Structures are given as C-alpha cells and as structure tokens.
Amino acid sequence: MRFQVKAVRGHADIVDLAIDAFDAQTAARQAREQGYAVLAVKRSTGLRNRAAFRRSSLRVLAFTQELVALLEAGLNLVAAIETLAEKEEAPETGQILSRILERLHRGTAFSDALEEFPGVFPPLYVATIRSNERTGGLAESLTRYTKYRIQMDQVRSKLGSALIYPALLFIVGSAVALFLLFYVVPKFRRIFEDMGTNLPFFSRLLVDWGAAVENHGVLIALLLAGLIFGAGSVLSRPAVRGRIMLRFLALPAIGERLRIYQYARFYRTLGMLQRSGIPLAGALEMATSLLTDALRPAMREASRVVREGVAFSDAMRDNGLTTPIAYRLLRVGEHSGDMPEMLDRIASFHEEQLARWVEWFTRLFEPLLMAAIGVVIGLIVVFLYMPIFELAGSIQ
C-alpha cells in the first residue's frame, strides 16, 4: 500500500513523499534511510492512489518480461536488476529498483525485498517467486506469472471491449439529452410564453424546467455535480460495493454470469499457485482475495473444511463455489493427481462460456439501449414542438 510521508531533511522545507510499504512503520523507516526526519505518516486513499496502483501493476508485467529475458541470457539476479535500473527513465520506478538492489546486496531474499513494496508487487507475485527462488527456478516462476497475467488481462480486455460501444452510446445519448434540457428547452420557453396558448401537460413541464434552468441554472448544475460526486464517493466504499454485488449476484441471469467470472479468476489463480508448488491451503488463502466480498465467507468456510480433511471438490460444491462441470473436473484432478491442469481447464471453460454470453448480451443490449435513448430524445423533441403543431393547425 502507499503512504504519504511528511518529512524534512536538514534545513530544507517540509516535503511530502509517496512511499510504497507494508505498513506505516516500514514507510517511516524507508524515509529515514533516505536521510529524512519523519514528521507524520498517513495512508494514501482515493482515486489517485488506485490509479497509481494500476500504473504500478502494468510496470510489473513489463519488468517481469525484461527480467526473464536477462536471466535467460545468463545474467545473475543482481546484474539483471542493475541493468533494468540503469535503463529506467521514470524516477519513481528507478527509486524502487534501487531499494531492491540495496536489499539484495545486504543478502535479503528477492521475494522479501519485493514484499516491502506491496503497492507495486502483488502478494501473488511475491508468493510465486518465493516458492521457487530457493530451488533455482526463478526464471520459470516469473514466466509462469507472466503467462498468468496475460491470460487474466485478455479476459478483462474482452469484457472491456464489449462494453465500449454501449458506454459510448450512453454517453452520447446523455450528452444530447442534457443539451436539449439545459440549452434548447430554455430557448423554447420564451417562444411559448410569447404565443400565450394553452400548452399540453408535458410541454408545460418542459417550460417550467426551462424557467428553472434560466433562473437557477448555476444552482441546478452544482446540485447535479454534487449528486454525481456523492454517488461516486458512496460507490467507492467497499461495504457499499459489497451490498450492491450481493444484489447483482441474486439476479437470475446476470448473477450467474458474475459468479462464473469470479470462478474463472479464482481457478486460474489457484492453478498458477499450485504449479508454483504452493500447498493447497496457502493457495486458497491467497486466491480468496480475488473474490468479491459477497463470496469470501463461503470461500473461507470451504478452506476451513479442506484443512479438516474434506475433499476440495466436495468443499467447493457444498459451499456453492463451483459449477457441475467444474465439480467433475475437480474430481478428475483429485483422482489423477494433476490438479493444476484441471484448474486451468476449468478457468478456460468458464472464460469461453463467459465470452459467448457477453457477445450475445451485447448484441441484444446495444439495440435496446439505442432504442431507449432514441425514445427519450424523441419525446423531448415532440413535447417541444407539439404546441407549434397545434398552433399551425388552429391557423389553418
């Protein structure tokens, strides 16, 4: 996680440092190692911190691919890290690599050095390296994690690509509707007032709205911005997101697909951890963090009964964390002893199933969304022009 450290060095001014560390004490110690006197430490929160984490995650994948190439070329770990640090242009990344080098020169294990930067290197990444570094399989474990991340990113990319067009439709439709309501309707209000005719009910509502925009436009805009900001703040809270996810999971069709997406991520991660040699109990604990809050209690219960000796497949089925196909494949993996392969097959099956459903849903949802937007905009235009049509008819 990331911490904001308020510190001072010598007689210089007070500065704010952004430091990635496991806890506040580690962040303060890192600042002191750089020669700063620490005044205060607080954890960073909000959208800026999450964006920084996403950027760090992207750099991790590129860093891992480059590190694997250097290790396979014959360089040792320290020389490979030094090479990457020398070519790095981003100051923040260069600083992180320098700190890792310092710890490697002191004799710290590579996984322990990475663990001091949880805001940059995910726990799964550290665990994968730790499971193989003592056996000389560092390059193999890094390659395994790279493949895993690419597979996970491909699933996210498919889902994101399917949502781009509906999102653009919604944004453009909303922009047109807001333009009509905040600009065109107030202009028509003056025309209707000059006409002095009796207006239909819905046209009168639009006229009243136009008067409100002209008289209190700034206040309405501030209220709208406050509503959007408040909704964003509320949705950013994990407890609120968890309750919303519970509602979605209870829906007949959408809830089932959300579960399949969660299962695909979980089984893919669990398979990668099993291939790295991590025991099932430890792998379950780490992979549970990828599940939504609504599914974690069931997963913790499944982990508990697995530690008590219940078969993994039965524990997952009894706690509603598997599908019939996944259950049968888990049974096959338990009997054959090749559980990682079965976990990967389960993940691939669920990913393909989810991709087919997303394609079908977008083909159905896009025309429905387009029709809904057209109806809303069309009604606004019709209600605006209805008095003019009536006036034209009376003149004739």
Query: Given pLDDT bands bounded at 50, 70 and 90, which one contains residue 56?
Result: very low
Q: Does 390 score more than 80 pLDDT?
A: no
Dihedral sign computed on CA atoms, order 283, 287, 293, 296: negative
104-127 confidence digits (pLDDT tens): 888 888 888 888 777 788 878 888
- Nearest Cα neighbor of 109 from 128, 133, 89 is 133
What tokens does 125 get? 């990444």
Enumerate residues 6+ apart whose C-beta is below 8 A from 378: none
Q: Does 356 score more than 60 pLDDT?
A: yes
Strand order in the sheet with 37-43: 15-20, 2-8, 37-43
260-273 confidence digits (pLDDT tens): 888 888 888 888 88
pLDDT for res 49:
43
pLDDT for res 57:
38
Span 137-147, mean pLDDT?
A: 82
125-135 confidence digits (pLDDT tens): 888 888 776 66
pLDDT for res 332:
92
Total length of the chain:
396
Rounded CA-CA distance 231/250 in Å is 22
- What angle, 0 to 180 degrees and rounded to 10, lies between the N-to-C axes of helices 47-72 and 77-87? 130
Report CA-CA distances (Å) from 60 to 54, 90, 114, 188, 291: 10, 13, 11, 56, 22
Beta bridge partners of 232: none
Which of 80-89, 151-160, 213-222, 323-332 holds the top average pLDDT?
323-332
The domain spans of the chain are 1-44, 156-396
Residue 46 in contact with residue 25, Cβ under 8 Å? no
Q: Does 50 score more than 60 pLDDT?
A: no
Q: Does 311 score more than 60 pLDDT?
A: yes
Q: Does 53 score more than 50 pLDDT?
A: no
Residue carrying structure tokens 């069931």: 298
Report the percent of the chain where pLDDT is more than 70: 85
3: left (phi over 0), alpha (psi -120 to 50) or beta: beta
DSSP per residue, 54-122: HHHHHHHHHHHHHHHHHHHTT--HHHHHHHHHHH---HHHHHHHHHHHHHHHTT--HHHHHHT-TTTS-
Instruction: Tell me which of 3.20.20.480, 1.10.10.10, 3.40.30.10, 1.20.81.30 is the CATH number of domain 156-396.
Output: 1.20.81.30
Instruction: Measure the CA angle with vertex 303, ends 335 and 153; round to 5°.
Output: 85
Enumerate residues 6+ apart whose C-beta is below 8 A from 368: none
pLDDT for res 123:
78
pLDDT for res 220:
84
pLDDT for res 328:
92
Strand runs (DSSP E) across the chain, as ranges?
2-8, 15-20, 37-43
What tokens does 34 get? 């750089």
Mean per-residue pLDDT over the chain, rounded: 79
Residue-wise burial string across 18-45, b where 16 or more C-beta atoms lie within 10 A, e elsewhere: ebbbeebebbbebbeeeebebeebeebe
Residue 80 in contact with residue 70, Cβ under 8 Å? yes
What are 165-172's contacts with CB under 8 Å, separation 24+? 165/362, 165/366, 166/362, 166/365, 166/366, 166/369, 169/366, 169/369, 169/370, 169/373, 170/369, 170/373
285-305 confidence digits (pLDDT tens): 888 877 887 788 888 899 889
13-48 confidence digits (pLDDT tens): 566 676 655 567 777 777 777 677 777 787 765 444
pLDDT for res 314:
92
Residue 311 in contact with residue 327, Cβ under 8 Å? no
- What angle, 0 to 180 degrees and rounded to 10, lies between the N-to-C axes of helices 185-195 and 339-395? 20
pLDDT for res 52:
42
59-89 confidence digits (pLDDT tens): 688 888 888 888 888 888 889 888 888 887 7
- The pTM of this model reads 0.64
212-247 confidence digits (pLDDT tens): 888 887 888 888 888 888 888 887 776 777 777 778
- For 167, counting Cβ atoms within 10 Å of its Cβ (0-12 exposed, 13-18 middle, 19+ buried), the class is exposed
pLDDT for res 331:
92
Q: Does 306 score more than 80 pLDDT?
A: yes
| Coil vs helix vs strand at 216 | helix
